[in-house]
Amino acid sequence: MNKYLSGDEAFAEGVRLACPDVISAYPITPQTVVVEKLSEMVENGSLDAEFIHVESEHSALSCAIGASAAGVRTFTATSSQGLLYMAEGLVYASGGRFPVVMMNANRATALPWNIYGDQRDSLALLDTGWIQAYAENAQEALDLALMSFYIAEHKDVSTPFMANLDGFVLTHTYENVEIPSQEQAKEFLPPYETENRFDFEHPKNMAFSAGPETNYIFKYKEHKAFDRAVNVIEQAEKRFAEIFGRKYSGLVDAYLTDDADFVIITLGTAAGLCRTVADELRSDGIKAGVLRIRYMRPFPVKEIAEHLKNAKAAAVLEKDISFGYAGTVYINTAAAFQSGGITAKLSNFIGGLGGRDISADDIRDIYKKLQNGTEGVEFIGIGGDN
């Protein structure tokens, strides 16, 4: 069926189709709609799950970890300061190899207080051992909810998954969304199975200490799961296309990059405006392209090298800043350029912090600066040394 849904509502529908056993919830803007909708589904019987309203975001993730350790499919959601409050639990979940799925509504972090969307919350926690994906629209949000469980729970991955939606720009924007049937969802997503659980018949040690001789081996195995996740993401998307008829493109989504001289690299909803401007420039004879990074972890090193091999210059446009250097997406992309032997000049444009608008004129200006050979880090809308 088709419904007119916000990004939050679409993601909640995807979670419903995944049939989690436990949902641990604490409200925070602009994520609250997700857990509100799920609570309504549990109340009206369209979702058979244990809905636990906890007292904080830290408790929400702690509850999800406990449920996963007991051997059931789990989901939680958060945003901004709530995600930061969960930081301790993030590494517990990843280190314990508990495949919790969490939706994060990207929102600026304090201070100053701000409820609007940038991506500093999730990118600040990029190294906590969670798969990180970024949706562009409501349909992808729903589909990503389903695929996130498939990927996280796969025996070759067994790693928690953070699905990110741009606050308000996506979470509260309404679009026409196709909702699959429960039968299709069951065909796509197998029942939850894991050996990484409490079992009184076959006791095992979980959440233990490990000294210098063995600790690094656990971390190495955690890292290798991300290498395997690349193949599992491809497998999930292939299976998804076969059942639902919608195709996704793996770790990145490339637009007109094959022959592009100038490419903007970005995350989330900003990609749509970049494509519109790229089309305008193409009509003027300027070979512009767009590369949307869909997954920040595992990071698409090979894909970036493939799509940027013919470019003269590229810019990372991001809603993030790693204070004292540059944007986190730029730092990762610059490393990919180095390892991939990409000779194109790379610059960094930071915008959208605190939900500030990024306009079509801003995008045109970035492409113009790429043509003029710009380099370095620049804050959109702030000139000089201000």
Do 181 and 146 touch, CB atoms closer than 8 A? no
Residue 140: per-residue pLDDT: 98
pLDDT greater at residue 204 or residue 43: 43
Q: Is residue 291 part of a domain?
A: yes
Asked if pLDDT for residue 385 goes beyond 70, the answer is: no
| Same domain, yes or no: 239 and 259 | no
Q: Residues 193, 63: one domain? A: yes
Q: Please give the Cα distance from 383 to 346 (Å, whole number).
A: 19
On whether residue 386 sits in a domain, the answer given is no
- How many Å from the N-terminal Cα to the C-terminal Cα in the chain? 51
From 224, 244, 264, the end of a domain falls on 244
Average pLDDT, the chain: 97
Distance, C-alpha 41 to centroid of its chain: 24
Quick one: 160 and 257 in the same domain? no
Mean pLDDT of 299-315: 97
Q: Say which residues have a Cβ less than 8 Å from residue 148's Cβ, sequence separation at least 6.
A: 101, 131, 133, 161, 163
Query: How high is the pLDDT of residue 382?
Result: 86
Is the predicted pLDDT of residue 171 greater than 60, yes or no? yes
pLDDT of res. 327 = 98
Contact 181, 9 (CB under 8 A): no
CA 231 to chain centre: 17
Instruction: Check residue 383 and give its pLDDT.
Output: 62
Say if CB 169 and CB 118 are below 8 A apart. no
Residue indicated by tokens 């449920």: 67
pLDDT tens digit string along 131-143? 999 999 999 999 9
Within a domain: 119 = yes
Quick check: is 135 in a domain? Answer: yes
Q: What is the mean pLDDT of residues 14-43?
A: 98
Per-residue pLDDT for 379 more than 50?
A: yes
One domain for residues 196 and 317? no
330 and 239 together in one domain: no
382, with CB counted inside 10 A (0-12, 13-18, 19+), is exposed
Evaluate if residue 72 carries a pLDDT over 80.
yes
**In the chain, how many domains are there?**
2
In a domain, 384, yes or no: no
Where residue 344 falls among pLDDT bands split at 50, 70, 90? very high
Tokens of 136: 């562009």
List the CATH number of the domain containing 294. 3.40.50.920
Q: Of 384 and 297, which is predicted with more confidence? A: 297
**Domain-terminating residue out of 244, 263, 278:** 244
Q: What letter represents residue 312's amino acid?
A: K
| Average pLDDT over every residue of 167-192 | 98
Do residue 212 and residue 273 come from a single domain? Answer: no
The amino acid occupying position 20 is: P
Q: Is the pLDDT of residue 384 over 90?
A: no
Question: Average pLDDT in the 48-52 region?
Answer: 98
Residues 6+ apart with CB under 8 A from 259: 287, 310
Q: Which two tokens stand for residue 270?
A: 């900003």
In terms of Cβ atoms closer than 10 Å to its own Cβ (0-12, 13-18, 19+), residue 259 is exposed
Domain C-terminal end among 192, 209, 244: 244
The residue count of the chain comes to 386
385 falls within a domain: no
Comparing 37-46, 260-269, 377-386, the range with the smallest average pLDDT is 377-386
Contact 159, 96 (CB under 8 A): no
CATH number of the domain bearing residue 114: 3.40.50.970
Residue 181 lies in a domain: yes
How confident is residue 302, by pLDDT bands cut at 50, 70 and 90? very high
Please state the φ and ψ torsions of residue 13, each to the nearest 5 degrees: -65, -40
pLDDT at residue 386, as a whole number: 44
The verdict on 215 and 263 lying in the same domain is: no
- Give the pLDDT confidence of 206-238 residue by residue, as tens digits: 889 999 999 999 999 999 999 999 999 999 999
State whether 315 and 348 are in the same domain. Answer: yes
The helix (H) or strand (E) run that includes residue 70 is none
Q: Are 305 and 341 in contact (CB under 8 A)?
A: yes
- Tell me how far apart the alpha carbons of residues 86 and 130 are, in angstroms, rounded to a whole number: 13
Percent of the chain whose predicted confidence (pLDDT) is above 70: 99
Gap between the Cα atoms of 265 and 285, Å rounded: 20
Strands (E), 62-157: 74-78, 101-106, 131-134
Same domain, 187 and 53: yes
Do 175 and 256 share a structural domain? no
Same domain, 139 and 267: no
CA-based torsion, 348, 352, 356, 358: positive or negative: positive
Position 336 scores a pLDDT of: 97
In a domain? residue 168: yes
DSSP 285: T
- Domain membership of residue 356 as a residue range: 252-379
DSSP string for residues in 210-236: --HHHHHHHHHHHHHHHHHHHHHHHHH
Listed residue (34, 101, 108, 97) closest to 61, CA to CA: 101
User: Are 143 and 285 found together in one domain?
Assistant: no
